[in-house]
Structure 1
Amino acid sequence: MTWLDDHPDIRNLRCGAADLNGQARGKRVPRRFADKLEKDGTRFPLSVLNLDIWGEDIDDSPLVFETGDADGLLLPTERGYVPMPWLQAPTALLPLWAFLDDGTPFSGDPRHALARVLERYKARGLTPVAATEMEFYLVDDSGKEIRQPKSPRSGKRRAGAEILSLRALDAFDAFFNDLYDACDAMNIPAEAAISEGGEGQFEVNLEHVPDALKAADDAWLFKMLVRGLARNHGMAASFMAKPYEDYAGNGLHTHFSILDEDGNNAFANDTFEGTSLLQNAIAGCLAGIPELALIFAPHGNSYERLVPGAHAPTSICWAHDNRTATIRVPGGSFAARRIEHRLAGGDVNPYLFLAAVLGSALIGIEDGMTPPAPITGNAYDQNLPQVPKAWDEAIDAFAQSTFARRIFDPQLVDNLIRTKRQEMAHFAEMTPEEQIDHYLDLV
């Protein structure tokens, strides 16, 4: 009995994979071809996983004319079918990832990049446990400028931020009811929803899972779901890093710990400081930030978020239970010791993001790194090393990075650099209004 047998209402299928920007690329397939798709997969050019954010070929990509724009084999991931509740007709998505014809994983596929990191953990008898915090804005984009949508309950626009406001959540109760029902149907483990610091800004936390590939899948699918459902409710939803100049940007934070072979938290002991493995992982995460900033802030707009005093970290430092630090060790019981990585914007590719975070921590463990002392107080007011402040700076640092090449295959590194340099050239030609308009729905 297959999933489709249990869901006879499904009328058509989508199949697709995440490209380097986290965009879903794939096909619409009639249901009658499901058996062939499940057994044999499908084919499309490998260059499709290396398009720019607007869906254009990368001009100098070796995946295009140099190789004759050759096909790859796209096979179903272990996730299997997931419903797409935001579409009018009952539809299911079959997530795919890319392979060469000889069965070798395609090194330019971001999901394979994360799987590669997890294999290195497995070889050491370790298993990362990861969760994500997904921030987004609900917006009215029907006019010349975006603004907070009207409350479906009152018909009014409530100006101003409403942090942890039940009233703000209640105003969009119908949307959140549909969102949680859809998450259940899609096996996305959604936890608490809160209102955040911007007009119409919300955060939904996804549960910790001992499978970082599933955590990345969940984040990727969640972004598609939120954008689709918002349109059904007469709004847009955006994970853009900084849609409003005067309000906080959207982050995508991850909390992670590591289980040892016996299933114990390898970061935890009976001390406040935690284990040496925790200290190694913190040091690795800090060491990776300067050279991996392009993963955490992949677009031109991303750097508008990374400004002091705007609820996004700008200093390369760590601290206990301090949200001004890039790397935070939350409080609570010693048994629950974990790391929160707070740098990334909501516009990241979840697969590359978790590969970068977990890969950095692993390098810290492999190399026995020791972090500096944790900071106390406001990181914005201290003389600390800084996160790269500009897109070109981050691209150059990634291009020159040996750290990045310890995590990612050289082909993926090269593909991403070419992509971002092409996007940067196009982005520079746009007006600020065009930049907002282009990125609002895409990321």
Structure 2
Amino acid sequence: MATFDERWSALDELGSGLTRYEPTQELRAYTPTWRERIGAWLMGDGGGQPKRDLVAGLVGSTGLPSTARRDTAGLSLADILPVAGGALGANDALREGDDPRAAANAVTAVAPLAAPLVRGVIAAAPKTTAAVAGALGATMTPADAGTRLTREQRQQLEVERQRLEAQRQAAEAEARMRAQTDMERMQAEAEFQRQRAAQDAELQRQMEAQRQRDAEEAAARARDAEARMPFRERFPDLAAALPFIGAGAAFGFPAAVKAGRTLYNNRTIGRWDRAVDRAAEALPGASKPAARGIAAEMRALDEIGPPGSAKPGWGVMGASAALPAEASLIPQEYDYLMLPADDPNRQAAAAILTDPIELAKRAATGVMAGAPLAKLGSEIPMGWMERAPPIARTKGVIEAADAYVAQRTPRAPVKRKAKPKAAPKTDAAEE
């Protein structure tokens, strides 16, 4: 049997085994212990922190290596149980290479099972057991006999047990405090992240608002700068094309007026044509009064005659000749109407527009260039689009109506004069 010193050493090793496990930097093959296998089986496919705490409190591990003492501060429910605690502790000690502590834990695991076994053996063979006990007693050495615990030793063991229990309770309190501290830290971190997200969102909103204000200010400055640009800078291509536009207008305006008048004349002639067609169709079956009306309508159209000439008049020609001069003044007119009053370009434009000499020079130059072009535009032939008036057909319908009326008028009976009777011949006449 073990001596008191050996048992006390075993208890010290058992107490040291309950301290926090500090991992080393040693690299070796991993073989799960019984404690870790049971923890992994209880964890299953995983779970939340409550399940992890429950499994760690039951067996001292959640299935991962080096978690037995980190999860439970060195003590679990399985460690308190006599048989299970000794067996798991022995397996953990073997895993760590601590053979003495493994033997002590094994003894602790087997001790609760030895008493029932001894009582069973004594009950089954009391005489044989007594003989064996006597032989053992005769051969016991004084050192073996001294292994029986005294009252002071039992008190010391009880004190040590209470000390270990106090350590366990302190470890549990520390674990609870650490868990609470971790939760508070997580809550504080979540609150910090929430505030930071809110600050980032506010900063982003302010940056976006500032970008929008900058864009609006830039657009306003661009509009103001564009509004202050003179005509030749704002529309350089149009300013360069104004002389050609004025010349084209001087040529095209009379031609357009002539074409418009030609189309108007064509509409008048068209109505004349349709009236002649209706008269020609209605005349064969018309009555004498209707025929007289057809003849009167045709005579009225014949008296009106064809519409006037489509050639533009002097007013159109004068306006067309002045278009190049007007085109040359468009930049100054734009600057005077659109630019601010204090703009130098507006003041320069006002000086030109109010200077009679400058206006006369521009008008003379424009008219000299526009008059030939206006004359040329008014002489463009429009015969390809003109319609001929139905003058001959109108006269024919008039003649046919007159003949039709004359044919339908009955002739008055002709009164023949009676021949005078011959006077009787007298003697003198005979003579």
The answer to whether the superposition gives a TM-score over 0.5 is no
**TMscore range, shorter length:** under 0.3
Larger Rg: 2
Q: Which has the higher contact order (CA 8 A, sep 6+)?
A: 1
More strand by share: 1
Please report the TM-score for the alignment, with normalisation by the length of structure 1: 0.17
Higher helix share: 2
TM-score, with structure 2 as normaliser: 0.17
